[in-house]
Amino acid sequence: MDNGKISVRYARALLSNATEQHCETEVYRQLCQLTANYSLAIQPFNEALSNPIASDEEKLQLLHTAIGEPIHPCLDRFLAFVTQKKRENKIFLIALKYQEMYRKVKQLLRADVTTATELDAQALDSIRNYVRDTFHCDAELHVKIDPSLIGGFILDIEHDRMDASIKGRLEQFRIKNLELRT
């Protein structure tokens, strides 16, 4: 069975179980933490989880460590089940699929906001309202600071980008100026 089908089936089962237990948001948050940490060291993580010498308990402990906090019992049972079924090398894909399904059910859009400086609560609320009014969904904002933007912000939603940064405007000006020269 291919990785896509496996990850979708396991993620769907976890979401269904977590929803029944009213802990889908906590599981979502913990899986976001897992994928964030996992993505920092994908190759070593995959090697450790695929290591036939490592026991199921050791692999489970690695997953617990990657989450970095006490794990909700629903997720803990799920990770133990996945490890028992020897699917722990698929956990990253399962977690990503769960996040995707959760956002769809909760009508959430992931929005990455890159700014030159820290945004205050009012600016973040304005961005959330813009996303809600434009896409008819709530926004899950992930804010990054990049001083090279000089000012303004870049908003990435799904596959759309809105560049309202000074750096972006300067780049547009540079390109227009080059086009005028040729």
Domain with 42 in it: what CATH number?
1.10.520.20
Q: Is the pLDDT of residue 151 over 80?
A: yes
Global pTM? 0.83
DSSP character for 146? -
| 74 shares its domain with 113 | no
Calculate mean pLDDT across residues 34-55.
Answer: 92
Domains in the chain, number: 2
Q: Are residues 77 and 140 in the same domain?
A: no
The domain boundary, picked from 104, 120, 151, lies at 104
Q: Which of 54, 71, 104 is the last residue of a domain?
A: 104
CA distance 59 to 75: 15
Burial class (CB in 10 A: 0-12, 13-18, 19+), 23: middle
- Looking at the structure, do residues 32 and 91 belong to the same domain, yes or no? yes
Distance of CA 178 to the CA centre of its chain: 38
Is the model more confident about 182 or about 173? 173
- For residues 85 and 36, state if they share a domain: yes
Query: What confidence score (pLDDT) does residue 1 get?
Result: 55
**Is 99 within 8 Å of 31 (Cβ atoms)?**
yes
What residues does 156 pair with on adjacent strands? Answer: 112, 161
57 and 33 together in one domain: yes
CA distance 159 to 45: 28
Contact status, residue 83 vs residue 56, Cβ threshold 8 Å: yes
Asked if 35 and 90 sit in the same domain, the reply is yes
**What's the distance, Cα to Cα, between the start and end of the chain in Å?**
55
Query: Structural domain of residue 176, as residue ranges?
Result: 108-181
